[in-house]
Amino acid sequence: MIAVDTNVLVYAHRGEMPFHEAAKHSLRTLADGRMQWAIPWPCLHEFFGVVTNARVFKTPTPHAQAIAQIDAWHESPSLVVIGETPGHWPTLRRLISAARVRGPMVHDARIAAICADHGVREFWSADRDFSRFPSLTVRNPLLD
């Protein structure tokens, strides 16, 4: 299963982003395909927070439009939204110890742990910080 990070979601949603077309095409390929794909819940939360934030965008995405975008992704029959499992803490503990995670890096560790617990084989992200978790195969679909 492929999981998608916040930055790919934001690039696909915001037309002014430099990798908009590549991100939009990547998500459309997943959403229209038969192979199961995933978005971690923290990435959906972060997506909403980023695109509606006036400190990030001069003209932020209106509240209703951001919700409509998340609803549209949920309409993909092959999408699975993934979150913490009962075994989340042992996985997260292992990742934060191995990567020597500190401070806000725990957010990425949380996403990596969720992906690990759900058997994600590939995580699509433009964020190189995920390379600190070698058990997670990260690919940037915006550079293909």
Residue closest to 99 by CA, chosen among 140, 137, 130, 139:
130
What domains are there in the chain, each with its CATH number? 2-143 (3.40.50.1010)
Per-residue pLDDT of the chain (144 residues; tens, 9 = 90+): 999 999 999 999 999 998 999 999 999 999 999 999 999 999 999 999 999 999 999 999 999 999 999 999 999 999 999 999 999 999 999 999 988 988 989 999 999 999 999 999 999 999 988 999 988 999 999 986
Who's near 73: CB < 8 A, 6+ residues apart? 9, 27, 31, 39, 79
- Quote the pTM value: 0.93
What does DSSP say about strands 2-4 and 138-139: parallel, antiparallel, or unpaired? unpaired
